[in-house]
Chains A and B, each alone.
Chain A
């Protein structure tokens, strides 16, 4: 499965190994892992909970992967995003891309993450010493996604 939304953790090495297994066309594997930090917006974070929109989340992620495949020559793509309660240092998300050369793999990996941050329906709620709060969307994420559109025109 190219796209997985799951509560369980993932084994980074096993996933990356499986993504390129037996494919001698692959000259580059780029991956990104997002992790839970213990601080956000100046407050300590002891736990986060990720909510999502079942069904739409998978469709949105698949659409982003399809878009990446039209922009770059990719052999394999894997997106895993966890939901439910997570603690600092936990893995949240994995994006991995294989291609013949590093340029396409790096670019596609970053593109998928930038689009995921602004288009996939996930929401983070974090527990802080002052109580739980929903994380606000960041303008920096919008501008990171927008630069991929500018490059088209």
Chain B
């Protein structure tokens, strides 16, 4: 299955990429397993980032949140607006 992955703020800068669309292997079906898989691809900052947040289809999620074909998954640091 294919998902669109977005990175924001300091994480986007550290990875040098704002978004990518990737074909996920079988077994990668949650945010947590997706994160581990991306770290294995060389996106180490996803492992070391402090208090990393995520959203699936623009709703806040956690490691257990399911990831399905066509989803938009975003990783980002804690928010600092206002």
The answer to whether residues A116 and B82 also contact, given A53-B8, A121-B8, A137-B77 and a CB cut-off of 8 A, is: yes
In contact, B58 and A124 (Cβ under 8 angstroms): no
In contact, B82 and A122 (Cβ under 8 angstroms): yes
Q: Chain A contacts of B10 at CB under 8 A?
A: 123, 134
Interfacial residues of chain A within 48-102, with CB under 8 A of chain B in the complex: 50-53, 55-56, 59-60, 81, 92-93
Chain B residue nearest in CB terms to A59: B58
Interfacial residues of chain A within 125-143, with CB under 8 A of chain B in the complex: 125, 134-137, 141
Q: Chain B contacts of A56 at CB under 8 A?
A: 55, 58-59, 74
Besides the contacts A56-B74, A122-B81, what 14 more A-B pairs have beta carbons closer than 8 Å?
A34-B82, A52-B81, A53-B55, A56-B55, A59-B58, A119-B60, A120-B79, A121-B8, A122-B80, A123-B76, A134-B77, A137-B51, A137-B78, A137-B79
Tell whether B9 is near chain A: CB-to-CB under 8 Å: yes
Most chain A beta-carbon neighbours within 10 Å: one of B6, B74, B79, B82: B82
Describe A's contact surface by its main secondary structure: mixed
Q: Chain B contacts of A118 at CB under 8 A?
A: 78-79
Where the two chains meet, the residues of A that have a C-beta atom closer than 8 Å to any C-beta of B are 34, 50-53, 55-56, 59-60, 81, 92-93, 113, 116-125, 134-137, 141
Total inter-chain residue pairs, C-beta < 8 Å: 74
The answer to whether residues A123 and B58 also contact, given A53-B74, A134-B9, A134-B10 and a CB cut-off of 8 A, is: no
Distance (whole angstroms) from the CB of A6 to the closest CB of chain B = 13
Q: Total interface residues on B, using CB and 8 Å?
A: 18
Question: Which listed residue, A53, A92, A119, touches B76 by the CB 8 Å rule?
Answer: A53
In contact, A123 and B79 (Cβ under 8 angstroms): yes
In contact, B82 and A123 (Cβ under 8 angstroms): no
In contact, A93 and B80 (Cβ under 8 angstroms): no
Q: Chain B contacts of A123 at CB under 8 A?
A: 8-10, 76-77, 79-81
Distance (whole angstroms) from the CB of B59 to the closest CB of chain A = 8
Q: Chain A contacts of B76 at CB under 8 A?
A: 53, 121, 123
Q: Chain B contacts of A52 at CB under 8 A?
A: 81
Most chain B beta-carbon neighbours within 10 Å: one of A121, A124, A125: A121
Q: Chain A contacts of B79 at CB under 8 A?
A: 117-123, 137
